[in-house]
Amino acid sequence: MASITKLPSGAYRVQIRRKGRYASETFLRRDDAHRWARQAETRVDQGLAPNKSSVSRLATFGDLIDIHIIDMCEVGKPPRRSKAATLTTLKRDLGKERIGHLDRQKLIDYGKMRAEQGAGPVTLGIDIGVIKMIITHAAAVHGLDISPEPVDLARVALKRLGLIGKGTERDRRPGTDELNRLFRCFDDNERLTLPMTRIVKFAVATAMRLDEICRVEWTDLDIDRRMLLIRDRKDPRNKTGNDQRIPLFAATGFDAWALVTAQVKDLGHVKGRIFPYNSRSVGTAFRRACKDVGVKDLHFHDLRHEGTSRLFEAGFAIEQVSLVTGHKDWKMLRRYTHIRPEALHGLAAARAPSPPGNLAAE
């Protein structure tokens, strides 16, 4: 008797137990699951093994993407926001391609097309990497007769053409005048419901990412020690469980603790999220304000760079700064650090020995 179960991912898992034989397959459509169950039971009655129909039905690259998502959801690892966006783009552009037609030249043409659309070397490199991951998954997990070699060859070609490579490190830091112009723009906008000035100051004060700011909760706040717990902080090595406690202080010029205190007064409660706003809305408001006041080429993520650089300018050592930013080593931290040369005057003055008493008297 066959049993069909709908999975949380929306797919259907069919299982048959007949004459001591067991078989299981996963399908995107319920009708396909019923059809396979009937065929499988018939084959068992005939003394044959059930067909691997779910594999035989994988005809397009879009099918490979779908089965990869299903498999990852089943093991509790659904694609996160950035990976899901990449998969959506790939399915849109390559989803209808027959698996056998996805050769080296097709992938090179895809890379050129993406570059014309504005995809940079890093973005395109990620796209090609995900394509290889999808193909390798299908071959390893489902036994599909498909080789990732064309993807490797396409990557080499695109790299030689300059379409894949390392990204240019940003060194953009907002000036004091630029920040003040943004603050005035936020404060003078009566229709703006988001406390953008406070959010921007908090971003510089803590060097936190926008999504981190918009998801920390009041229960993550240690009032006695003035510490904030950031859960599942982004880390290329650890996708989950990378929790970190950071201090809320005024070392960067903005007082993080005072900003949180002001947030309590505005909200009137300490339930849920500290900054209960949609990160996309915050990003949109920031970009709009930059355009309105003529602040060019400034991203919200640059505020994290700014906060990190200010910590170094304040005299903190690498290992101390990493306790705030969450970076694991200097190589990772370096790309976020752009100290202004003039800041060295302040550091030198702080470290200079006091002049002898007799010389000072003279």
- In the chain, what are the domain boundaries? 2-55, 61-160, 176-349
Give this prediction's pTM: 0.64
For residue 265, give both structure tokens: 């007064």
Report the distance separating Cα 192 and Cα 188, nearest Å. Answer: 9
What are 128-172's pLDDT values in tens digits?
999 999 999 988 887 777 889 999 999 999 999 999 987 666 788
Helix, strand or coil, per DSSP, at residue 213: helix
Q: At the top level of CATH, which class does the domain 176-349 belong to?
A: mainly alpha
* Residue 270 exposure: Cα atoms within 13 Å on the Cβ side: 10
For residue 198, give both structure tokens: 């406070």
Q: What is the mean pLDDT of residues 247-254?
A: 94
Please, what is the average pLDDT of the chain?
Answer: 86
Please choose, from the candidates 200, 206, 251, 198, the residue with its C-alpha nearest in 3D space to the C-alpha of residue 227.
206
283: buried, middle or exposed (CB in 10 Å: 19+, 13-18, 0-12)? middle
Instruction: List the single range of 122-136, 223-237, 272-286 with lowest mean pLDDT.
Output: 223-237
The amino acid that residue 243 corresponds to is: D
Report the distance separating Cα 130 and Cα 68, nearest Å. Answer: 11
What are 70-93's pLDDT values in tens digits?
888 888 888 887 899 999 999 999
